[in-house]
Chains A and B, each alone.
Chain A
């Protein structure tokens, strides 16, 4: 399954999801596209003023441009998410999303999507850390194998649920 991770740049979460046979949806892949895509001259971030405009899909114009620009990056991840793991209050070194307003919106959209969702606090000691990893592993084991691609759109009820076999 495609599992959205939060913080979306957490290498630890990304690694855990992969180890249990799922595909992590991490921001690195979207940033990577921006860096590798041709036509503009600015690695490291080829975000243009068009991206915040695309972000209007998620937030109105009175929402800061930084939030909307971030949302344009998260869009494909949110669209493709079939499950999600959200870690609350992580330390910066675990993974960090810079804008609190974006984080609130992303978490809300994940909850609204009604996909399997695991929310848990960042551990503060070794015992909690073991429990943390255990909960994540149990959650990942409980997910369906990655043979079904499920797209849901709770925000727009006119869009039907689509089930299709993933190409192998």
Chain B
């Protein structure tokens, strides 16, 4: 059984406070291209409450735009009645028994799918337990990529789109994602919400870098790309393949006639394991971005489970930027400052970007040192990542932190303290998306 139901893209919103985030520029046109050129991907929907929350149309719309189709694994009532004993988890809600039975249908091979989407209502504790366990169960038993999500009635197709795109990319482009070495002369541009990064690579080495704040998406990309080309000493027409990623990937992908336009979950995880030299085996990639966070569980360089987003901007790089500004230091100095301080000396009453900053200001007024405040800000972001996102994936070592925020030394330290594991910050961590894009784009050279 499957349903398809197209609808226009809306806005994505924060589940916690209802704040809305704009949809990614240029994606509607770009996704039309995906719909007509890529293979159909079958995604199993294991959900509880999606129809009653009024968001089934949004889910169907998001999967249609990435040329996928939702399927609902066949089960009969005997399967549902037996599943609690078989799975070992007793629940009160019959719909949760149904999704456990559907998970079993996938694991036993009764239902063949390429990927799995597990979704339940936000704030339902029973559903959160089931969601987490069946995500792990399916991934461990089958290796099929799984994404889990908790929704509200405000969830829109736009919110789900990047996640669905990553899920289908993982299912569809396994051979491309398995690429371990860059070859030829390629470029990667990562158009992030805060900064735009460009990388030129030649024969598995980085030869040029460009980094500019994102002001106007296209102009910033042009500038970063030009800087990278200049440093590399190569001309634009010499580039054999170009890949784009990040928030503005569709727009700049169209502009630069990119060979690869790919969401940042798969690209960043590839870039992370490549730069950290951890392409084989398990790894966990953490990327605290300017606008949203990614936590990706990786096996042999390919994402298996991942989460994207965060409950609020208080868990983003933006919060650290605001803290630095309030302390009168540059963002590059905040990390070193935090290493000298002690987070426990400052009381943070809220994770919210507004009230969190207020807590820090109050602490300063009460005599806290800038070092302690910087450490508390890093700890707050790390704690939110830990509490809100890392519960949705299996954290396996090595843990690799990437993105510009990984260079704020206090942040990897705070994550290390919370996870009790060593965190790797590879060289060029801030260029991770651009490196991943340049690496994967080299797979298009022969074409």
Contact = CB atoms under 8 A, between A and B. Distances in A.
The answer to whether A and B belong to the same complex is yes
Interface of A: 41-42, 45, 47-53, 62-70, 73, 91-93, 96-101
Contacts of A49: 53-55, 153-154
Interface stretch (B119-127, B190-198, B305-313): B119-127
Interface in B56-82: 56-57, 77, 80-81
A34 to B, nearest CB: 10
Given A66-B121, A69-B153, A96 B54 contact: no
Nearest to A69: B52
Given A64-B121, A65-B152, A66-B48, A100 B56 contact: no
Given A98-B94, A99-B52, 17 more contacts: A42-B57, A45-B56, A49-B53, A49-B153, A62-B123, A66-B121, A66-B124, A68-B153, A73-B52, A92-B77, A92-B80, A93-B77, A99-B48, A99-B49, A100-B92, A100-B93, A101-B93
B123 A47 contact: no
B51 interface: yes
B157 interface: no
A41 B5 contact: yes
B81 A92 contact: yes
Contacts of B48: 66, 98-99
B122 A65 contact: yes
A96 B54 CA distance: 20
B54 A52 contact: yes
Nearest to B80: A92
B11 to A, nearest CB: 12
A69 B53 contact: yes
B108 to A, nearest CB: 20
A65 B51 CA distance: 10
Contact of B95 (A50, A65, A99): A99
B58 to A, nearest CB: 8
Contact of A66 (B5, B49, B91, B94): B49
Contacts of B53: 47, 49, 52, 64-66, 69
A66 B52 contact: yes
A50 to B, nearest CB: 7
Report, nearest first, the 6 A-B pairs whose CB atoms are least far apart: A66-B49, A64-B121, A98-B95, A100-B92, A69-B52, A65-B53
Interface string B215-232: 000000000000000000
Given A52-B153, A97-B94, A100-B93, A45 B121 contact: no
A107 to B, nearest CB: 12
Residue among B7, B53, B57, B151 with max Cβ neighbours from chain A (10 Å): B53
Contacts of A68: 153
Given A49-B153, A64-B122, A42 B55 contact: no
B291 interface: no
B98 interface: yes
Contacts of B98: 98
A93 B5 CA distance: 29
A52 B52 contact: yes
A108 B98 CA distance: 25
Contacts of A63: 123
Contacts of B57: 41-42, 48
A50 B57 CA distance: 13
A47 B53 CA distance: 7
B51 A47 contact: yes
B121 A65 contact: yes
B122 A99 contact: no
Interface string B104-143: 0000000000000000111110110000000000000000
A50 B94 contact: no
A46 B122 CA distance: 21
